[in-house]
A and B are shown apart, each in its own frame.
Chain A
């Protein structure tokens, strides 16, 4: 049976992480609706969505990385689907990628610090007895 013991600081960190998980996607989407350049993709989503889907295969295998053009302010008169294209629904993936990277690095640094302390204590104890 594995026993998990959380100290106060670890409990706080865990609570903060859970809170961040709960809030992050919503905040990211809310930010997207108000800030450029992400808003650029949201506004001209529908006309570009099909082209994006088609171009995705090419870009995923090595086309240059090009910034998205600024949204056109002129109305084309065509009905506009306000739903985001497939690529805009990947906020979870971006958020998880950055979170995983930081959790791994932070966890490694904490583990290193603990191991360091253990070795130092062992050395001090040895010197104390010699």
Chain B
């Protein structure tokens, strides 16, 4: 059913609008702090990639792509997990803050998935001799990217913004089903993609220096994700306030 928004009386100012960005100052401060921590961690990670981590025995130098590829995939999964949780919350509670978090995380998820989809083929060209192979994990990851690009298309495709948000929230929840499929694809189906070497039931199967380096990158990208998420969230809240003001006038 279509929801209709009654036009407010002239001169009406929505609550919270007058404070503008003041109430988001704390959010932005945290974003800056996390951003600085992320930059420091990633710089340490860069040092470790080129001066600490050993060259892998069989793949050689090209294995170092792993240090940016795997943390990007981890961060993308975390982003889409946040999208699914907040979208479900938004569908239930209709709280605009949950929608703001969901759309912010979805944008970041698309950015990090793009990194995964660009860095993977650079490794594949050397390891497999082909830029792209239509095998389960790669295909499902590409599908994930399309699903969350579709999230934004659905969001902007309706004349009623509230309706677009609800539809996008449904896409955000349903799209998350793809993530466990991606994770398990290398075990369930005949996959050309390497098996997990860090997250294994029997423990990490890699040289300790390689594991330490990738964990530093995971930490750096996680901090970067939350920093950018807070910035994007603050921007989305300001956009919502600007929209409320436009409607009010």
Cβ proximity bits A72-99 to B, threshold 8 Å, 1 near / 0 not: 0000000000000111101101101110
Assuming the contacts A56-B127, A93-B126, A126-B245, asked whether A120 and B21 have C-beta atoms less than 8 A apart, the reply is: yes
Chain B binder among A1-9, A15-23, A62-70? A62-70
Other-chain residue from A60, A62, A119 in contact with B186 (beta carbon distance below 8 A): A62
Q: Flag if A97 contacts B119 (CB, 8 Å).
A: yes
Interfacial chain A residues near B207, Cβ < 8 Å:
65-67
Q: Flag if B245 contacts A130 (CB, 8 Å).
A: yes
Interface presence of A123 (CB below 8 A): yes
Interfacial chain B residues near A116, Cβ < 8 Å:
231, 234-235, 238
**Within residues 44 to 72 of chain B, which ones have a CB less than 8 A from any CB in chain A?**
54-66, 68-69, 72
Assuming the contacts A68-B55, A90-B126, A104-B114, asked whether A119 and B63 have C-beta atoms less than 8 A apart, the reply is: no
Work out how many contacts link A and B, with CB atoms closer than 8 A: 156
Contact-size category for A: 35 or more
**Within residues 18 to 59 of chain A, which ones have a CB less than 8 A from any CB in chain B?**
32, 37-38, 40-41, 52, 55-56, 58-59
Interface presence of B13 (CB below 8 A): yes
Assuming the contacts A112-B232, A116-B238, A130-B13, asked whether A87 and B59 have C-beta atoms less than 8 A apart, the reply is: yes
**Within residues 198 to 215 of chain B, which ones have a CB less than 8 A from any CB in chain A?**
205-207, 209-210
Name the prevailing secondary structure of the A interface residues: helix
Q: Flag if A122 contacts B242 (CB, 8 Å).
A: yes
Q: Flag if B238 contacts A120 (CB, 8 Å).
A: yes
Cβ proximity bits B204-245 to A, threshold 8 Å, 1 near / 0 not: 011101100000000000001000100110110011011001
Interfacial chain B residues near A86, Cβ < 8 Å:
126
Q: In the complex, A62 Cα to B185 Cα: how many Å?
A: 13
Interfacial chain B residues near A40, Cβ < 8 Å:
55
Q: Flag if B122 contacts A96 (CB, 8 Å).
A: yes
Q: Flag if B238 contacts A65 (CB, 8 Å).
A: no
Q: Flag if B57 contacts A67 (CB, 8 Å).
A: yes
Q: Flag if B56 contacts A100 (CB, 8 Å).
A: no
Interface presence of A12 (CB below 8 A): no
Interface presence of A13 (CB below 8 A): no
Q: Flag if A115 contacts B126 (CB, 8 Å).
A: no
Q: In the complex, A40 Cα to B119 Cα: how many Å?
A: 25
Cβ proximity bits B6-43 to A, threshold 8 Å, 1 near / 0 not: 00000001000010110000000000000000000000
Report, nearest first, the 9 A-B pairs whose CB atoms are least far apart.
A87-B60, A62-B195, A67-B54, A90-B62, A65-B206, A64-B205, A60-B127, A59-B58, A97-B119
15 contacts between A and B (CB under 8 A): A38-B61, A61-B195, A62-B197, A65-B56, A65-B63, A65-B205, A66-B207, A85-B60, A90-B62, A101-B72, A108-B228, A120-B20, A120-B238, A123-B20, A130-B249
